[in-house]
Structure 1
Amino acid sequence: MRNIQLGALLYASEVNNEHLETLKEMGFETISICFWETLGETDFASLARCVGEAGLPVTALSLWGNPLANEEVRQGLTTLIDQAYRFGNPFVTGFAGRVPAGSVDASLPKFKEVFSELLEQIYRHNCRGLLLENCRMGDLWKRGAWNIAINDAAWSLIFNTLDDPLLGLEWEPCHQVEALVEPLAQLTRWKAKVLHVHGKDAHVDATLLSEIGLYAPNKAIKPTLPGFGDTDWRSLMQILHEGGYQGSIDIEAGGPSFFANFEETVASLAYLKECRRSL
């Protein structure tokens, strides 16, 4: 069953011929390309040429930042939409943003203003969709600095505020495990809106959690790769498959480099392939 492809999430700075050839040799099938807050001086024609020569489909172009408060981030998303044609018009993804220090509710009018404009551009450029990554970045319901798309209640408000078939979620189990939410139950609730998945999980040390709670300097919940955390990815893929998912799971290795612990990442890929074979 290959309707679910398995790939790698890379920062644009790591996209080069050598790295892409290594990914192909190890059996990665897609890539997702991301940036942190700025696109810098990226030459998108050269970047697309490099990816095209490798023959790895691009599933998403992503910019992490706050588009409701940071004009460079907002313009960066606009640029990604403009340049998406070079990569086969994949999803463009990022945080929903937030009015600084504001609540989820207080940020909704600004969210609607900014993302309505971005969606119009998505349609003009025939992109696959505009997706919201749900990393909390330390934000809470009443205050924060990055992202209002942090949980079920927020998603309901967001999609009631701006309901569009091309506006969806870029989802992963890690953020749910960190919030003590059962990820498979959540995915079942939201599978119609989950259009791209990051391969990232987490593990809860229940004994330590009972001692220190959620807000101690030491953490009882650690991010992991698929196969090393608490989520059953066979069941996760089954839910996606039953929902008609036609996309990728792109492994998010964490840290500054995708290749820092590459042996473990390749082991995670092997685990995901084994999960896929059970569909």
Structure 2
Amino acid sequence: MKLALCTDVLGDLSFPQMLDKVKSYGITGVEMTAGGWSPCPHVNTNELLASPEKLASFRLELEKRDIEIVALNCSGNPLAPGELGEKHTASSYKAVELAGKLGVKKIVMMSGLPGGGPEDKVPNWITSTVSWPDYMPGVVDYQWNQVAIPWWKTFTQHARQHGVEQIAIEEFPSQLVYNPSTLLRLREAVGDIVGMNLDPSHLIAMGADPIAAVRKLEGAIFHVHGKDARIERALADIDGLLEYKPVTETKDRTWNYVAVGCGKDLLWWKEFFSVLRMTGYNGYVSLEMEDLTMSVEAGLETSIDALNATLSR
């Protein structure tokens, strides 16, 4: 396995400055956003698609530093009703086109989440049992069979046409795919070009075991995020893990995203990567640093040290 960096955390730096910073950490792989929710600080997708000269200059900056794009990320909600879904759909299609021009074979995405019916104006995440109230089975059927599966069948065709070989879907809460079982449902419906971007922090925050998830997903893990979460026991034991407070209110939340090693210890991370390797994954692990309990630099250095100490190389 090799370490890469999700570069949005260095969004205050220019593209060349960011690459120099990545290189200073001893990292030679980057995952950069090219669509979706991100402001895409280092990839102007429309500009690069429109200008062969700017595309060539962009590639040259990477080549000069011997840095590889391990994936383009366009995580958003392309299935949302209305303008948001249209915007994220368009950016997802363009990200795939840019990947084709750059020779990048992997896209990282989220599945998207539709509304609860054709008239809804906002997405609707069903996480309760559908046994009651009795309107929920129809919502789930609509979301999967009328919206998600048709969208993804069309999108995967577009991806194949542009040379993308893997679409790694992050199991993010408030998305239709938010755990291994929902990922496998989509994969069965649209084909094995779809796999998991396994981000352990999300499974931890939902009370699942990422190591067990690795075993369940054998052969279907396309990408891994190096990201940790900590259950804040003094609060979670009282209120549980369903949490909607802003991520900035770290002291009052029942769980938080933290630097790698500040949630699960290094022994856990060694087992996680060992089981990943044992079940066939030997690709990049992209550090995604979103710890708001410390500075960006401290979070990056802490996480890099922990990952370098635990990756199965």
Q: Same fold (TM over 0.5)?
A: yes
User: Compared with structure 1, are the counterparts of its residues 215 and 125 closer, same or farther at alpha carbon in structure 2 (3 Å cutoff)?
Assistant: closer
- Count of residues in Structure 1 that have an aligned counterpart in Structure 2: 263
In structure 2, how many angstroms separate the alpha carbons of the residues matched to 1:199 and 1:97? 22
C-alpha separation in 2, matches of 1:181 and 1:214: 11
Q: Report the Cα distance in structure 2 between the residues aligned to 1:220 and 1:16, rounded to whole angstroms.
A: 36
C-alpha RMSD of the superposition: 2.5
Does residue 17 (structure 1) correspond to residue 16 (structure 2)? The answer is yes
- Alignment of 1:192 with 2:189, yes or no, is no
Larger radius of gyration: 2
Pair 1:148 & 2:176 matched: yes
Are 1:223 and 2:254 an aligned pair?
no
CA spacing shift, 1:243–1:87, aligned 2, 3 Å: farther
Shift in Å, 1:196: 0.4
> Do the aligned partners of 2:257 and 2:291 also contact (CA within 8 Å) in 1?
no
Where does residue 242 of structure 1 map in the other structure? 278
For the Cα contact (< 8 Å) 1:81–1:92, is it kept in 2? Answer: yes
Which residue number corresponds to residue 89 of structure 2? 74
Match of 1:264 among 282, 299, 308: 299
Aligned-pair identity in percent equals: 18
SS in structure 1 at match of 2:79: coil
Unaligned runs of 5+ in 2: 49-54, 116-122, 125-138, 246-251
Q: Distance in 2 between matches of 1:80 and 1:123?
A: 13
User: Is the 2:36–2:77 contact (alpha carbons within 8 Å) kept by the matching residues of 1?
Assistant: no
Amino acid at match of 2:253: K
Q: How far apart are 1:181 and its partner, in Å?
A: 0.5
The one-letter amino acid of 2:189's match is T
**Equivalent runs, 1:25-174 vs 2, <5 Å:** 25-34=24-33, 35-37=35-37, 42=45, 43-44=47-48, 45=55, 46-69=57-80, 70-100=85-115, 101-102=123-124, 103-109=139-145, 110-136=147-173, 139=174, 147-162=175-190, 164-174=191-201
Q: 2:14 & 2:36 partners in 1: Cα distance?
A: 14
Query: What is the letter of the counterpart of residue 99 of structure 1?
Result: P
| Unmatched tracts of structure 1, length 5 or more | 140-146
Aligned equivalents of 1:94 and 1:15: distance in 2? 24
User: Greater relative contact order: 1 or 2 (C-alpha under 8 angstroms, separation 6 or more)?
Assistant: 1
Over 3 Å counting, the alpha-carbon distance change for 1:111 and 1:15 in structure 2 is farther
Aligned residues of 2:226 and 2:287 also touching (Cα < 8 A): yes
TM-score for the superposition, normalised by structure 1: 0.84
Amino acid at match of 2:197: E
CA contact (8 A) 2:180 2:216 kept: no
